[in-house]
Amino acid sequence: MRRLVTNLLGGRLQSVLIISYELVVAITVILGSVIISRLISDLPQGCQDRRVARDMDLAAAFYQLKLDETAAISHRLVLDSFVVNNLAAAAEGQPSLAFLTADH
């Protein structure tokens, strides 16, 4: 059977087909490994970029929360009559006894 195929197709065609098949396999393996290697190396970078972006968003949220807390505390201090009454004395460096008469 092999001789019949060899006689019909000739030795050259068989060699060309074998070499072509080997080249297709080699190109597929090489390109596949290069593409997979690139994807694997890009994946951690993308994950790291997303993690850094998420951490930056979280840090900005905590910073805004602390700013809001500071604004709320200062607003409460401005509305407190004890602070308002003793502010001038505190600015001059004098201790005040107004806290004894304040309704706190």
Domain boundaries in the chain?
2-101
Mean pLDDT of residues grouped by 10 in the chain (104 residues)?
A: 65 80 94 88 80 94 96 91 81 65 52
Contact by Cβ (8 Å): 96, 90: yes
CA 9 to chain centre: 60
Which pLDDT does position 64 carry in this prediction?
Answer: 97
The pTM (predicted TM-score) of the whole model is: 0.46
What sections of 1-104 are H helices per DSSP? 2-79, 81-92, 98-101
Which pLDDT does position 7 carry in this prediction?
Answer: 67
Which pLDDT does position 82 carry in this prediction?
Answer: 83
